[in-house]
Amino acid sequence: MRAGVTLAMLLAFAGEAWADVQAGVEAWNRGDYRTAFDQFKPQAEAGDAKAQFYLAEAFNLGRGTVQDYAEALKWYRKAADQAYPEAMEKLCSAYFFGENIIRKDETEAAKMCAGAAKAGKVYPAFLAGYLYDFGKGVAADQAQAAQFYKIAAEGGNADAQEALGRMYFFGQGVAQDYAEAVKWNRPVAEAGRAFAQYLLGYCYDYGRGVQQDYAEAAKWYQKAADQGDARALSGLGYLYSQGRGVAKDEAKSLELYLKAAEKEETSVYALLAWAYYQGNGTAKNDAEAAKWFRKAGDLNDVQSQYMLGYLLEQSKNYGEAVQWYQKAAEQGVTGAQESLGALYFSGQGVQQDYAQAAKWYRQPAENGSTYAQYLLGYIYESGKHGAVADPAQAVKWYGLAAEKGDGRSQLALGYLLSDDKAGQKDLVKAHMWSNLAAAQLSGDERTAAERQREYIASKLSPDQLVKAQQMARDWKPKT
């Protein structure tokens, strides 16, 4: 019986306490702050979180009592310790920005903002997302950041929508999902935010998360470009260069690229270089092309490194050409490897060195370059300028080029097969290759091929000669 009475008494006391707090709220709302303060104080001291929050508000604003930030902080903390959402929201902002007597404290801000966010508070959810996104006061955790951003984004916070759109676009803290990126970027793009407009334009440009639509891409790029977004200037410039979604206008494209470059948008450096090199939208200008190829090359654009080497070689600046060719060659650009091999072969810009030439010719030769194959054959045959003579290797590389119809390689191969230098003597094949060379070479090379053919013929039996000539008639180049 006593237990029942006790429970009833507790319920009665709780009801009275709630009534007192509610009476305080009503007094607060009608501006009777002194009455409200008197209602809140005993209930706050008894541990009621709502009363503690309102008491903190009273001290913070100086309503119904003297303003006292230290007392306000004390009661906000007590309410927040009981997970009272409004108290955590207040402290979230106060610790994030540093307000009144509270110093900026991102660790405390992260704690309070996260608590308020989990209670559905929109702005604290954005702030929590920011703190976790950039590792402010907590270890960076983009997955956690995305969860907080989503709470705020769904509550209509534009900053969170933009952040979430960016995370889905790049796959930061979430699986990359262009459709979700479009969903969250669209409202902020429509509200005029340049970065979201650029991302939306990109999605339309490349058909990411939406049907590819160059006109829509140009529309959104233009909106962002009008606000000076360098990436949008670059994207719009490319659409004008190709006539996609807009009328083709190479001069307009160049203008946009230059504006982007002024903002240090590095993606346009190579595009500008090619425009000046090819004369697209402007007069052809190798000096300007070299300037922009150099900028792109400094950022390790390998094709720009190769093209700068080429332009320097054309202007006979062989020493610097070697440096740029080497940068691109070391990263596998075949044209640069072949050009670098040629400079080592001729000794322009570097000391003549056939071993180095062979090193750089090898990859182009293996990739099928007839010229590189011929020169590798020559280097291995000659054994000059630091290279070791290797007739068998010479036969291999001459043979590959000869099979594709290179006359000089056919002549050289005929010579090597006519004696035993390479250990592969075959007079019938030697005659065939010499005959094929004589049929297409001209001038002194033709004369040399004819003499070689006749000399080899003098070493053949009639049957062998007929066979060699038949082989030459039947031969077809390999493609």
Domain count, the chain: 1
Q: In three state form, how does the secondary structure of 38-58 look?
A: HHHHHHHHCCCHHHHHHHHHH
Residues 268, 241 contacting (CB under 8 angstroms): no
Phi, psi at residue 345, to the nearest 5°?
A: -65, -40
Indicate whether 459 belongs to any domain.
yes
Indicate whether 424 belongs to any domain.
yes
| pLDDT tens sequence for the chain (479 residues) | 444 545 443 333 445 556 778 999 999 999 999 999 999 999 999 999 999 999 999 999 999 999 999 999 999 999 999 999 999 999 999 999 998 899 999 999 999 999 999 999 999 999 999 999 999 999 999 999 999 999 999 999 999 999 999 999 999 999 999 999 999 999 999 999 999 999 999 999 999 999 999 999 999 999 999 999 999 999 999 999 999 999 999 999 999 999 999 999 999 999 999 999 999 999 999 999 999 999 999 999 999 999 999 999 999 999 999 999 999 999 999 999 999 999 999 999 999 999 999 999 999 999 999 999 999 999 999 999 999 999 999 999 999 999 999 999 999 999 999 988 878 999 999 999 999 999 999 999 999 999 999 999 999 999 999 999 999 999 999 87
Which amino acid is present at 463? D
Indicate whether 468 belongs to any domain.
yes
- Alpha-helical (H) ranges within 155-267 are 158-170, 178-190, 194-206, 214-226, 230-242, 250-262
Q: In three state form, how does the secondary structure of the chain look?
A: CHHHHHHHHHHHHHHHHHHHHHHHHHHHHCCCHHHHHHHHHHHHHCCCHHHHHHHHHHHHHCCCCCCCHHHHHHHHHHHHHCCCHHHHHHHHHHHHHCCCCCCCCHHHHHHHHHHHHHCCCHHHHHHHHHHHHCCCCCCCCHHHHHHHHHHHHHCCCHHHHHHHHHHHHHCCCCCCCHHHHHHHHHHHHHCCCHHHHHHHHHHHHHCCCCCCCHHHHHHHHHHHHHCCCHHHHHHHHHHHHHCCCCCCCHHHHHHHHHHHHHCCCHHHHHHHHHHHHHCCCCCCCHHHHHHHHHHHHHCCCHHHHHHHHHHHHHCCCHHHHHHHHHHHHCCCCHHHHHHHHHHHHHCCCCCCCHHHHHHHHHHHHHCCCHHHHHHHHHHHHHCCCCCCCCHHHHHHHHHHHHHCCCHHHHHHHHHHHCCCCCCCCCHHHHHHHHHHHHHHCCHHHHHHHHHHHHHHHCCCCHHHHHHHHHHHHHCCCCC
Indicate whether 418 belongs to any domain.
yes
Indicate whether 464 belongs to any domain.
yes
Indicate whether 408 belongs to any domain.
yes
Task: List the structure tokens of 129.
Answer: 């997302």
The pTM of this model reads 0.82
Indicate whether 10 belongs to any domain.
no
Indicate whether 449 belongs to any domain.
yes
> What domain range includes position 428?
401-479
